[in-house]
Structure 1
Amino acid sequence: MVGFTRRYMALVRKETRQMVRDRSNLGVGLLLPVTLILLFGYGLSFDVKNAPIAVVMADQSPTARQFYSALEGSTYLAPKWVSSMAEAETLLGRGEADAIVRLPVDFTRQLAAGQAQVQLLVNGIDATLAATLEGYVNGAIASVFQQQADRVGGKSSAGGVTLVQRIWFNETGDSTWYLVPGLIALVMTLIGAFLTSLLIAREWERGTFEALFVTPVRPLEMVLAKITPFMVIGIIDLVLCLLAAKFLFQVPVRGSLLVIVIASLLYLLVSLQLGLLISGVTRNQFQASQVAMLLSFLPALMLSGFIFDLRNVPLVIQVVSQILPATHYMALIKTQFLAGNDWLMALQKCAILLLQLLLMIIATRRTLLKKLD
């Protein structure tokens, strides 16, 4: 045990000095995560706000103007009153309007008869935006129907059913709450797999790795020593992410913060081991960086549930996604942040990550055996 500790500490000092000398690694490890937090947190959003729509009103009655006021009262829509359908179509074609709302000449009479129709033309280039705008305009129409019914003391002409909607877990409907927890997984992946994928490959290219063959250092000691400095960098980035989530983006932490930290550290170890495994197999920095991008960062971005709901992808992709550590960590951390404690899920996901960590340690040790090809 004394010999292990002595060799391990000597290797840690060596790896730390090497990491500090390589300022590009420090820049990627400390500055890039901060950039990602700000870029994704402030710049990326799935919310629709102030969407420009052109409103053509052939009916100029007070009731029709009330409908226009309902559109203006929505924080999601930015209506613009245009004089003709041709002008509205021009705005839609130029991209200056996302939709056209057209009220017919007899809109007031139709509304009084309970058969009012409003034409909605939506730019379908972005299918998600089109569906969202349709929902917002329908909401404005329903509010006018309800106000008209209240005024005459009868039922709404939109129907006799009143829908009372409640949103759980993300009651503000803010996509930032959805994105920021997943961003932590991307940062841990970046620090873990991408940076450490260059460590062993760099030493093989420089010829310094063979020098360790004549020392009493063992493969497991090399594995632990190489991940230790980057583990420290990852912990710093984790703290920055948690502080940004809480104080910059006001994302609630409804579950156990301890579970979040433990799961994040476990996932960080898995990512570090994946990077070392890639580095040991490729033994080339360029190849290692490309493989790390293909096997870690891109799958964490596209196939982990960070952006796309995995229930909507083909079965083959769903199976592949379950092999990825990021998929299990992403599901766990989003649940802990927004939904609260789910102890069964936490134990299950942490057990999967722990199993993947052990398998990667065994595989990485085999790539560090003291032998020359």
Structure 2
Amino acid sequence: MKLRRLLAIAYKETLQVWRDPRSLAIALLMPAMQMVLLGYGISLDVRHVPLCVYDQEHSQTSRALIADFSAGGWFDVVANLPNERALRAAMDRGTCTGALEIPVDFTRVLTTTGAANVQVVFDATDANTTNIATGYAQGIVAQASADFQTHWGQAHARPPPTSGVVDLQPRVWFNEGLDSRNFIVPGVVAVILALVGSQLTSLTVAREWERGTMEQLISTPVTALELMFGKLAPYFLIGMIDAAFCLAAAAFWFHVPFRGSLVALLVTTALFALVVLGIGYLLSVRIHNQVRASQVALLVTLLPTTMLSGYTFPLDQMPVPVQAVSLFVFARYYVTILRAVFLKGSPLALLTVPVLALALTAGLIIWLAARAFRKRLD
């Protein structure tokens, strides 16, 4: 393998990218668009849930409870309704997702017995929102109950009864605010790199076949390795620039905490780039049509990255057979590394398994891609 011939192929491919508006759009515009759309558009947080209230008592205590629901930003009280029929109608129309009903004797029962019931009803057509909103409601009611016990103890000059009570004090590490953006945005980098890298390289050799320049390329003394590395070099540089842009946007624009090593991040990003570029090149060699090659590349890289890497859905909640399939999804290991480096600050020494899996995958893909090209026209 001679460096002069490799650089000549790389220069030729760089000119091709520069003169192709579609490739430029994929390389330059798509990362920025995807970062904005995915970074802002995907969120697992549930906030400002519309809440209708049927307060039968209209007391200071009931108004305080309603204020607790709207104070944290989790719920927005959109209507105070006069009866249960209006409450049901509002739920049916979709005016509110949740409904809080306070009984007429709420304060009296609470003061007399120390315990009173309120009812919160949710529209469960969206199960995820309902589960999260239910947890919020339970937390608000628990805090209101604790505050009432404190006030009750102060009013009666003695502490409230605590026999048999377990005080849970949870602590959250690595994502202290439970912000889903910190969980999602690092994975966006993997999605963008998989999409851009595979789409660009899936056009390289297929373009030569479609434009009739493959005969000229085969007649040159360029070897298969020189052709592969020469064609991949510009796209590797573009991929690393795109990755650097996305990683910088994650840290400085979306304010995802970065606690790890920049070297670890760059090394693993380079390995992931080699995987997606090698897949795109391999498909371009085997499929002599640009449209078909790009479609297959999209299917092979983007879908597993979004569905089976843990980017959007937790892998440990999937069926065991699906978890077994995800072990062969290269993006799974890169997403794991991204979150560990960003949020946990994990060094490479603690990421041996995913780094090794990514390195083995990169070596296998590059080996298959190098063997795929043959200097013949069949």
> What SS class does the counterpart of residue 120 from structure 1 fall into?
strand
**Pair 1:83 & 2:86 matched:** no
Q: Does 1:235 align with 2:233?
A: no
Task: Give the corresponding residue for 1:35.
Answer: 33
Residue pair 2:261, 2:347 contacting (<8 A) in 1 also: no
Deviation at 1:38, TM superposition (A): 1.0
Q: Deviations over 1:64-120 (max 9, x none)?
A: 111112112121111232222222222222222111111112212332313311111
Aligned to 2:121: 121
CA distance in 1, matches of 2:53, 2:137: 11
Q: Report SS of the residue matched to 2:77.
A: strand
Contact 1:91 1:97 in 2 (8 A): yes
Instruction: Report if the CA contact (8 A) 2:264-2:348 is conserved.
Output: no
Query: Following TM superposition, by how much is the alpha carbon of 1:372 offset from its aligned partner in structure 2, in angstroms?
Result: 2.6
What runs of 5+ residues in structure 1 fail to find an aligned partner? Answer: none
Residue aligned with 1:273, SS:
helix
CA displacement 1:141-185 (0-9 Å, x = unmatched): 112211111112143799823222222111112111111100110
In structure 1, how many angstroms separate the alpha carbons of the residues matched to 2:215 and 2:91?
Answer: 65
2:295 to 290, 296, 301: 290
Distance in structure 2 (CA, Å) of the matches to 1:77 and 1:152: 27
1: CA distance, partners of 2:132 / 2:161? 23
In structure 2, do the counterparts of structure 1 residues 156 and 237 end up closer, same or farther at CA, with 3 Å as the change threshold?
farther
Alignment of 1:174-323 (within 5 A): 174-323=179-328
Q: Does the CA-based 8 Å contact 2:259-2:341 persist in structure 1?
A: yes
- Give the Cα–Cα distance (whole angstroms) in 2 for the partners of residues 341 and 265 of structure 1: 18
**Alpha-carbon distance in structure 1 between the residues aligned to 2:44 and 2:163:** 29
Q: Which amino acid aligns with 1:141?
A: V
Residue 342 (structure 1) shift: 4.6
The number of equivalent residue pairs is: 371
Are the aligned partners of 1:254 and 1:340 in contact in 2 as well (CA < 8 Å)?
A: yes
Tell me the secondary structure at the aligned position of residue 102 of structure 1: strand
Cα 1:136–1:157 change in 2 (3 A) is: farther
- In the alignment, what sits opposite 2:168? 163
Q: Give the 3-state SS of the residue equivalent to 1:117 in structure 2.
A: coil
Which residue number corresponds to residue 91 of structure 2?
Answer: 92
SS of the residue 1:186 aligns to:
helix
How far apart in 1 are the matches of 2:230 and 2:358? 21
Confirm or deny that 1:25 pairs with 2:30.
no
For 1:155 and 1:46, the matched residues in 2 are separated by 38
Matched residue SS, 2:292? helix
CA–CA distance in structure 1, aligned partners of residues 202 and 350 of structure 2: 30
1:162-219 Cα distance to aligned partner (Å, 9 max, x none) = 2222221111121111111001101110121122112111211222122222111111
Q: CA deviation at 1:347?
A: 2.5
Q: Deviations over 1:119-141 (max 9, x none)?
A: 11111111110011111111121
How far apart, in 2, do the equivalents of 1:141 and 1:130 lie?
Answer: 16
Unmatched tracts of structure 2, length 5 or more:
154-158
Shift of 1:50: 1.3
In structure 2, what is the Cα distance between the partners aligned to 1:319 and 1:139? Answer: 36
Give 2:156's aligned residue.
none
- Alignment check: 8 A CA contact 1:114 1:157 kept: no
**Distance in structure 2 (CA, Å) of the matches to 1:229 and 1:264:** 16
Moved over 6 A (4+): 156-159
Choose from 55, 58, 79 the match for 1:57: 55
Deviation at 1:345, TM superposition (A): 4.2
Conservation of the 8 A alpha-carbon contact between 2:198 and 2:277 = yes
Q: TM-score, normalised by structure 1?
A: 0.95
Change (3 A) 1:8 1:158: farther
1-side partners of 2:180 and 2:340: how far apart? 15
- Residues 67 and 144, structure 1, Cα contact 8 Å, conserved in 2: yes
CA distance in 1, matches of 2:237, 2:22: 16
Contact 1:146–1:156 under 8 Å retained in 2: no
The 10-residue stretch of structure 1 (20-29 or 147-156) with the greater mean CA deviation from structure 2: 147-156
What is the root-mean-square deviation in Å for CA atoms of aligned residues? Answer: 1.7
Cα deviation, residue 267, structure 1: 0.4
Match status 1:15 vs 2:20? no
Letter of the 1:41 partner, please give it.
G
Q: Is the 8 A contact 1:259 1:346 kept in 2?
A: no
**% same residue:** 37
Secondary structure of 2:100's match?
strand
Q: CA deviation at 1:360?
A: 1.3
Report if the CA contact (8 A) 1:148-1:156 is conserved: no
